Amino acid sequence: MSFKLSDYNTAKLIIKKLKELNLNLKIMHVCGTHQDTIVKNGLDTLLQECNIEMRQGPGCPVCVTPQKEFEEAKTLAKEGCAVAVYGDVIRVPVEGGSLADLKAEGYDIRIVYGAEDAVKLAKSIRKPLVFMAIGFETTAPTTASVLLNDPPEKFYVLSCHRSVPPALDALLGMGELKIDGLIEPGHVSTIIGLKPYEPLSVKYHIPQVVSGFEPLDMLVAVLMIALQVKRGEARVENEYTRVVKYEGNTKALKVLSDVFEPSDSVWRGLGLIKDSGMKIKRRFEEHDARRVFEDELKQLDSVEFKEPLGCRCSEVIRGLLYPQECTLFGKACTPTRPVGPCMVSVEGACSIEYKYGRLNVKAASNKS
């Protein structure tokens, strides 16, 4: 562990308490940053001593974006638009080639740091620019705010934004894995607050705790879940009180609801989830790439996209499989030659395990 000494002593006390509680738990989180904290600090190995298994669920926005949406971006680049994407998006393997492959062929694919950067770029070029906007409630407000602030005429957004709570509902509803508690992402929760999680605790009788990103935050969150389980409770608690408020960020929520409306959306690994997408409202239709380029994108509706051969990202995304259980992990699939999105994105479970050199971690038995 890379704890400070004071944190180390607190961590020891938490582990002692967890051992005393003597439970056998599977806890899922849905955040690449949480996974990084867990793997970097060996928290999962530590928690195994307390019979607690940690699983990463659908918490990497790039990983859950289906191939069709990458294909939409590729199609618009071929139609003569500049396409602006986040750095890890460009390398995601897609049937027929990634956006990076398209760039190598001479198409105009640019890397940007965010929506505002994309707007600046749109102002500096003559051709239309499409911003492929990927992310959960954390990044969606920045996309919304550029649309509210008089963007350039030829600036278009391909909204690939998604909302976390409907995906959690879908995942729990599948019942593939018995999950005893959910750790909710601190950054998403900063925007949405605690309320959207509450129906899940009622419907599935599952404890949930919003957690920060330090190792101690996560251990405290695990303890809070364990205590709820011990008491037979199922409610939403907030470990990250220094940042997250019950009501969330009301200004950001207003910006989101001004620009987006819920829409059914396909998630890689999870399929179609009701009201989990963020569709641009008609008021901004002149900047909505899907409306403006409807005819060009229509051809993709009938295409069936296959997952890369042997890639098990869908199961990794649902928390059913540890990356090391994929036979391609660290062999045919590495960050320099990724086969699936989970090895590309910095938030992907496979890339995180690889980054910290955990090539041979023995996977615990899964399936509930």
- For residues 270, 137, 181, 48, the Cα torsion angle rounded to the nearest 10 degrees is 90
Least separation in angstroms between residue 327's CB and ligand SF4 is: 8
- The encoded tokens of residue 261 equal 């409306």
- When the beta carbons of 5 and 309 are compared against ligand SF4, the nearer one is 309
Taking the complex as a whole, the smallest distance from the CB of residue 282 to ligand SF4 amounts, in Å, to: 37
Q: Which residue in 83, 62, 54, 40 sits closest to 343, CA to CA?
A: 62
Q: How far is the CB of 197 from ligand SF4 (least distance, A)?
A: 28
**Min separation Cβ 364 and ligand SF4, Å:** 17
CB of 310 to ligand SF4, least distance (A): 6
The one-character DSSP state at 197 is G
Please tell me the number of Cα atoms within 13 Å of 70 on its side-chain side: 27
Phi, psi of 155 (to 5 degrees): -105, 125
Q: C-beta of 111: minimal distance to ligand SF4 in Å?
A: 21
Find the shortest distance in angstroms from Cβ 113 to ligand SF4. 24
Task: Return residues touching ligand SF4 (CB under 6 A).
Answer: 311-313, 316, 323, 326, 328-329, 333, 339-340, 342-343, 350
Q: Which is nearer to ligand SF4, 164 or 352 (CB)?
A: 352
Distances (CA, A) of 275 to 53, 137, 249: 30, 13, 21
C-beta separation of 195 from 247 below 8 A: yes
Nearest to 76 by CA among 366, 253, 296: 296
Residue type (1 letter), 12: K
133/333 with CB nearer ligand SF4? 333
Q: Which one, 158 or 311, has the nearer CB to ligand SF4?
A: 311
Beta-bridged to residue 156, according to DSSP, are: 130
Measured between alpha carbons, how far is 292 from 287 in angstroms, rounded to an integer?
Answer: 7
Of all residues in the shown chain, the one whose CB is closest to ligand SF4 is 340
Shortest Å distance, C-beta 100 to ligand SF4: 16
Q: For residues 198 and 315, which CB has a smaller minimum distance to ligand SF4 in the complex?
A: 315
Count of residues for the chain? 368
Q: Could you tell me the two tokens for 341?
A: 């999105």
> Which C-beta is closer to ligand SF4: that of 280 or that of 316?
316
- Give the residue ranges of DSSP H helices in the chain: 5-21, 32-40, 43-48, 61-64, 67-78, 99-104, 115-124, 140-148, 164-174, 186-192, 198-204, 215-231, 250-259, 289-292, 294-298, 313-317, 349-355
Choice between 91 and 154, CB closer to ligand SF4: 91
DSSP 6-52: HHHHHHHHHHHHHHHHT--EEEEE--HHHHHHHHHTTHHHHHHTTTE
Q: Which is nearer to ligand SF4, 7 or 101 (CB)?
A: 101
Q: Is the separation of the CB atoms in 342 and 57 below 8 Å?
A: no
Residue 36 CB, nearest approach to ligand SF4 (Å): 16
Nearer to ligand SF4, 149 or 336 (CB): 336
